[in-house]
A and B are shown apart, each in its own frame.
Chain A
């Protein structure tokens, strides 16, 4: 048994919240120090990108001449070998349809998995889940050959299709888990009123699943935008390079254009980070939802 509190227990209880213990201060300081230390590489890139190269080439932490300029960003935006203006445009052209299409297709299939009690269901589900583990490298060669036959190499359509197929398994898994949490009464009522399966799906179920859709949009868009390998395999013409493909092309052969490189890095990571900052709630929900809840 612990010691009985003899002297004024009410006093202690009332003032506990006001007392700041040294341990709490230390924990707060250490935590914030770790958080800021984690930012150091980003700070380095930002410093290099926003200043002329002669100020940073011997260490971006040298602050003595400090002038802020946008020239590096403009140079990377119009870099002749791989202009990021085109790269960003193409990345958007790929990422938007490659987000919407698998979302709808995957939601449809996930609904099928969640609602229909059939013998084949578990079998197919195991197969779908195993696809998620297949590395991108496993499909690269045949997909490349297929796209050569279809004449879709260096065509953004090939990348859209491939990313759609690649995103569908986890979207099915995610949407199935979500649909199982939805009550079935509304759907049954609609079925009694004579609505068909598909009508129920797009009139009733889809509007109810908008929060899950938001998580999928954030996740899938970010995944497609951040991808480098598929783009590198399928997009071979400099006219259609994506944003991520431009970044390694800014690394010079003998002289490092660190100013261009850092500006290109920032431009490329700007979109996913902005998306994350704005839609953080959905992103974390998606991440935690499909890893923990299962």
Chain B
């Protein structure tokens, strides 16, 4: 079918465009033309988003990648920048176990993940389960969730009112308990700075795991729990065999999102410890290091740190997004295979196939 408006349209627009349009209409309704037109319709919806994304995300990512393998004069140097930046004690400091020096940004990020992730995950799950049958549970949830909507830079500043010496609660509290090693200014003591900030992020980000776990808990049918209780299961057994396995997809989401935030950590450290990452860089992290390189106009090193960071986040994100993308496609065949017999089952009343007897 020809486009009925084609002739009229060609009169309204410049002649060379009209010529193209007439040529286009004369081609007829071949499959590839139909395909092209559907593509054009689809792409016209994407066009504004595509322009913004290409100019401000795709191009900068590619440019950062290329910046990371050249020297300041623009000559290609391979992986020398990577060697220099990752090999420096500022990034990875293997000697931090022997002497009391800070471990470097990369190690600090990993320490952060190792301590923060399990703590925030299980605190959130514990609170979510606890709040299931609490009067005013939604209010408590809102209170705990406040840390998630507060700007991260403000979270960093708020931590000063807990950790910093004359005004903070933690030093005074431990002084009152008589624990001398913790009754110090947490923000200027290298050994307490990193743990203090990690606990601070647990405080502010537990709201996320709690809210998502609460939503996940409501999706589990109540009958499951009732059936388990009737069968005499203890609360721990119910959690271990029922709640935890059923919440696994939720856990996956929380773990990946939290990992992404931990890797991109920036504002909290700068708000609580300043742009140098605290005394001697005790709480320095990759993003902060990148910012400092950017600040002193060492763009190549900044690009190296950014690329390392991106590699980490992409590895984490692929785990999450595989779920987003493959779930509808992969789930169906798997289920039909597992429960394949339901389709082959005979209608009620008919005889089962006789081959089994043979």
Contact = CB atoms under 8 A, between A and B. Distances in A.
Interface stretch (A67-75, A127-135, A206-214): A127-135
B321 A276 contact: no
A292 B100 CA distance: 43
B53 A169 contact: yes
B250 interface: yes
Contacts of A172: 49
B161 A248 contact: no
A192 B71 CA distance: 60
A125 B53 CA distance: 13
Nearest to B206: A38
A291 B140 contact: no
Given A116-B42, A294-B324, A45 B161 contact: yes
B269 to A, nearest CB: 11
A282 interface: no
B242 interface: no
Contact of A141 (B254, B260, B294): B294
A232 B290 CA distance: 13
Chain A interface SS verdict (over half): helix
B57 interface: yes
B45 A112 contact: yes
A56 B166 CA distance: 9
A2 B229 CA distance: 11
Contact of A288 (B215, B249, B321): B215
A109 B150 contact: no
Interface residues of B, number: 101
Interface residues of A, number: 102
Nearest to B141: A35
A64 interface: no
A182 interface: no
A116 B232 CA distance: 52
B186 interface: no
A118 interface: yes
Interface stretch (A4-12, A77-85, A158-166): A158-166
Nearest to B50: A109
Contact of A48 (B136, B167, B267): B167
Given A36-B143, A41-B159, A58-B167, A272 B150 contact: yes
Contact of B157 (A35, A261, A287): A261
Contact of B53 (A122, A168, A229): A168
A24 interface: yes
Interface in A15-33: 24, 27-28, 30-32
B161 A44 contact: yes
Given A28-B135, A116-B45, A226-B151, A165 B55 contact: yes
Given A34-B130, A59-B169, A141-B64, A134 B151 contact: no
21 contacts: A32-B134, A60-B167, A108-B45, A112-B42, A112-B45, A117-B38, A131-B57, A133-B316, A138-B307, A140-B290, A140-B306, A143-B56, A143-B60, A162-B56, A166-B56, A247-B157, A247-B271, A248-B156, A268-B153, A291-B254, A294-B327
Given A109-B48, A172-B49, A294-B323, 10 more contacts: A34-B130, A60-B169, A109-B45, A133-B314, A138-B60, A140-B291, A140-B306, A142-B59, A228-B266, A268-B154
